Chain A
């Protein structure tokens, strides 16, 4: 086994055997599932809270046609607005006052609430009033069978989306799924690069403060030591990732099969190329399209391979920078300043990520998915939407080329830095170190 291999193996064994690794590996997915469940539960709770709205209708047109919608309940008011202003009636969310000229004045409806109202509530109330006013106006035209006509012409639309690939094949696409994948994968790379990059830096600082370094570099080259550490920690990250992927596939598959067995069957048949089973309502058709993408082996494989390629490239690029920073300082407190060239591009990536999720082929997303500093995160955000092959090839090539360059530079700083004790170096000094002959 080569020396880099020996060093990498030590790093791997030391870290994987740690209790903290085992605990985070098990706890993190549970925490994430827990957080999601909690979020859904809390959202359900607020939505379930009934909102009672008292209606003061001066026009006499609106109130009779208002119907309870979701958690909003309407009730005619027995008191005047002034009385209720002085004292809040028990359990009342707000007061809706309709002016006499509501048919002609678009500002004729007023909602007074005892707490800040929500966009959702306002939209629901405005929507109802709009529909009532519209139908009142229609009635003025005296059309026969108006109600039946209105019922007949009401048509809900669910847009069916398909993407045409370069070889002319059509695929179901689900922008919801793409959006979610873009966010999750982009964020995952961001988190992994920071977590494991910091681990590299801490490892270097630990070796330096343990004074174990000089003993090691009398047997191996500093560059081998740095690469061994980076590779060892990368394999820790990949191990953790693998455990999580297995967990998600097993747990997710089980959940889907239990709760959405028929939809899974439909999705499978869609993947097989047969027609969508008849008699399925449009709402669940959308879910089926999503599931069909999710269970589409090729699509998932592209995402996973893309993730691994970009994770490795991005991690190696940033980890070598982290190693250089770690080598230059004596303790972690001194790293903040030197970490700026690492944290700023990562933060920028994070903000561009949000843009790229919404406009995956826009110029911002395009350029930032080519620049090696940001490409791992941004390209992962674009990948779920489908990216032209040449862009991926170019972006990966640029990333890996610059990673080689960065490792080379970091190695030069590292070599000098590990023997520098006592003073906090500046960027100027780091540049000088790169030019040292060893």
Chain B
């Protein structure tokens, strides 16, 4: 069952419509990517889920019932615009934010000590935030986001501003949280990270949900019907074997004579894969055979520019 359901949400501002009849379902335990170019309406949708702002029409359901004020305790949110009180001490500040998320002072302190130890930053406790570097402050912010162990975590552009080492650490933490049963929504336009950690995505463009589903399914649906075969054998013979059967050969890498050769083939119909494979098999020795699956980046760009 889905943990979060957004139903026909519309939000208008004075001069533009930020979200127009957007619906989506986030499966429990998934890492859900919310993609879209800048200004598409992602942040508005995230604010609506966080109850920072209300939709003009439509509904948002958490665990099957309409979002209520106490649901903020079940959600952890790391905004894109992140900051802390500069003059406040790290520990005190983290406890304060945890208290705002409903933890008691004692509970918050105990959990924070554990997290600080885990990240090896216990000595930051009594430092002022202004003494920390940007990356250090980001770590504190991440801890604050997950401390109250929310069911639903929302990260808005989580990797922006992190160096590669910390970005990797963050990625591992996000996956660990998922493995512990949390659901993660994260908004990004960094496609590499989507492919690495998301299992479901929604693509929002110009206030509309233009593409939704599991990563696998989407890629398959947007498959190009192009296959690549690596083989050892007579290239010309293979080409002759395949011509005139509804397959088109896309590349002939004959400039690079090596033992293993490659060939890309387009087929009009998925059902004929078996036929293709047996045709190739009868002529040359197959080393590998795979479908060329488009990268999320390609799908993203195509979808946004309206080619799909």
Main secondary structure of the interface of B (DSSP, over half): loop
Q: What is the 8 Å Cβ interface bit string for chain A, positions 1-14, against chain B (1 contact, 0 not)?
A: 00100110010001
Pair A211/B82 contact, Cβ less than 8 Å: yes
- Min C-beta distance of A223 to chain B, whole Å: 12
Pair A219/B14 contact, Cβ less than 8 Å: no
Q: Which residues of B in the span 79-125 have a Cβ within 8 Å of any Cβ on A?
A: 79, 81-88, 96-97, 99-101
Q: How large is the interface on B (under 10, 10 to 19, 20 to 34, 35 or more residues)?
A: 20 to 34
**CB of A214 within 8 Å of the partner chain:** yes
**CB of B165 within 8 Å of the partner chain:** no
**CB of A216 within 8 Å of the partner chain:** yes
**CB of A215 within 8 Å of the partner chain:** yes
Pair B99/A6 contact, Cβ less than 8 Å: yes
Q: What is the 8 Å Cβ interface bit string for chain B, positions 152-188, against chain A (1 contact, 0 not)?
A: 0000000000000000000000000000000000000
**CB of A107 within 8 Å of the partner chain:** no
Q: Which chain A residue lies CB-closest to B104? A: A1
**CB of A139 within 8 Å of the partner chain:** no
**CB of A114 within 8 Å of the partner chain:** no
Q: Which chain A residue lies CB-closest to B98? A: A219
- Min C-beta distance of A170 to chain B, whole Å: 56
Pair A218/B50 contact, Cβ less than 8 Å: yes
Alpha-carbon distance A213/B56, docked complex (angstroms): 23
Residues of B within 8 A of A219 (CB): 72, 97, 100-101
**CB of B35 within 8 Å of the partner chain:** no
Residues of B within 8 A of A207 (CB): 85
Pair B53/A438 contact, Cβ less than 8 Å: yes
Pair A214/B86 contact, Cβ less than 8 Å: no
Pair B100/A3 contact, Cβ less than 8 Å: yes
Pair B85/A212 contact, Cβ less than 8 Å: yes
Q: Which residues of A in the span 383-438 have a Cβ within 8 Å of any Cβ on B?
A: 432, 437-438
**CB of A284 within 8 Å of the partner chain:** no
From B51, B83, B88, B100, contact of A211 by CB (8 A): B83
Alpha-carbon distance A44/B83, docked complex (angstroms): 57
Question: Which of B51, B77, B87, B100 has the most CB atoms of chain A within a 10 A radius of its CB?
Answer: B100
**CB of A36 within 8 Å of the partner chain:** no
Alpha-carbon distance A215/B76, docked complex (angstroms): 10
Alpha-carbon distance A213/B87, docked complex (angstroms): 15
Residues of B within 8 A of A212 (CB): 83-85
**CB of B226 within 8 Å of the partner chain:** no
Pair A217/B86 contact, Cβ less than 8 Å: no
Pair A215/B144 contact, Cβ less than 8 Å: yes
Residues of A within 8 A of B52 (CB): 214, 217-218
**CB of A220 within 8 Å of the partner chain:** yes
Alpha-carbon distance A216/B15, docked complex (angstroms): 27
Residues of A within 8 A of B143 (CB): none
Alpha-carbon distance A10/B99, docked complex (angstroms): 11
**CB of B26 within 8 Å of the partner chain:** no
Residues of B within 8 A of A3 (CB): 100
Count of A interface residues, CB-CB < 8 Å: 20
Q: Which chain B residue lies CB-closest to A215? A: B79
**CB of A210 within 8 Å of the partner chain:** yes
Residues of A within 8 A of B14 (CB): 432
Pair A210/B85 contact, Cβ less than 8 Å: yes
Pair A214/B79 contact, Cβ less than 8 Å: yes
**CB of B276 within 8 Å of the partner chain:** no
Alpha-carbon distance A279/B117, docked complex (angstroms): 81
Given contacts A3-B100, A14-B88, contact A215 B82 (CB under 8 A): yes
Q: Which residues of A in the span 105-126 have a Cβ within 8 Å of any Cβ on B?
A: none
Q: Which chain B residue lies CB-closest to A10? A: B96
Q: Which residues of B in the span 31-84 have a Cβ within 8 Å of any Cβ on A?
A: 50-54, 56, 72, 75, 77, 79, 81-84
Q: Which chain A residue lies CB-closest to B100? A: A219
Alpha-carbon distance A432/B14, docked complex (angstroms): 9
Alpha-carbon distance A219/B79, docked complex (angstroms): 12
Alpha-carbon distance A438/B14, docked complex (angstroms): 13
Pair A215/B99 contact, Cβ less than 8 Å: no
Pair A218/B75 contact, Cβ less than 8 Å: yes
Residues of B within 8 A of A210 (CB): 83-86
Pair B100/A216 contact, Cβ less than 8 Å: yes
Alpha-carbon distance A356/B14, docked complex (angstroms): 47
- Min C-beta distance of A429 to chain B, whole Å: 9
Alpha-carbon distance A6/B98, docked complex (angstroms): 11
Q: Which chain A residue lies CB-closest to B101? A: A219
Q: Which residues of A in the span 140-187 have a Cβ within 8 Å of any Cβ on B?
A: none
Residues of A within 8 A of B75 (CB): 218
Closest 9 CB pairs of A and B: A211-B83, A214-B79, A219-B100, A210-B83, A218-B77, A211-B81, A218-B50, A212-B83, A217-B52
- List 4 other contacts, CB 8 Å, given A210-B85, A211-B82, A438-B54: A7-B100, A215-B141, A216-B97, A437-B54
23 A-B pairs in the complex with CB atoms less than 8 angstroms apart:
A6-B96, A6-B99, A7-B100, A10-B96, A14-B88, A210-B83, A210-B86, A211-B79, A211-B83, A212-B83, A214-B52, A214-B79, A215-B77, A215-B83, A216-B97, A218-B50, A218-B72, A218-B79, A219-B97, A219-B100, A219-B101, A437-B54, A437-B56
